[in-house]
Amino acid sequence: MSEDFAYALARLRSAAAGLPGVEEGISYGTPALKVRGRLMCRIKDAGTVVLRCPLEEKEVLMAAAPDLYYETDHYRGWPSLLLRLGAVSDEELAHRLALVWRREAPKKLVREAGR
């Protein structure tokens, strides 16, 4: 793993710390975070993270913060959002991962975690 990918993964690990059931894995050949096998996010390249995101929320985020959130033609129409890792604060990254976790985690895990 390149040094840049290692830094990106370290940021994701830190942002997801404390979220139950989160595990590291691989998705499309790059490091990813999953919850009980379900993809939460993956590193697209050293400066970009792909986040799972409902389509209706994706449009709102891209309009509200285009410096952070965007998509390419490849992701148009898919429930995934691109995030500029170098532009996002640790707090926003943790918040976004917590929201993804809540949507992707099994409902029983969410109840047990009291989230």
Q: Residue 1 — pLDDT band, cuts 50, 70, 90?
A: low
Instruction: Break the chain into its structural domains and give their ranges.
Output: 3-108
pLDDT of residue 15: 97
Q: Model's pTM, two decimal places? A: 0.92
Element (H, E) at 75: none
- Give CA 81 to chain center in angstroms: 8
CATH code of domain 3-108: 3.90.1150.30
Q: Who contacts 54 (Cβ-Cβ below 8 Å, separation ≥6)?
A: 79, 103
Percent of the chain with pLDDT over 90: 91
Q: Which whole number is the average pLDDT over 75-104?
A: 96
Q: Residue 5 — pLDDT band, cuts 50, 70, 90?
A: confident
* Structure confidence by residue, pLDDT tens digits, 46-84: 899 999 999 999 999 999 999 999 999 999 999 999 999
In whole angstroms, give the CA distance from residue 36 to residue 50.
18
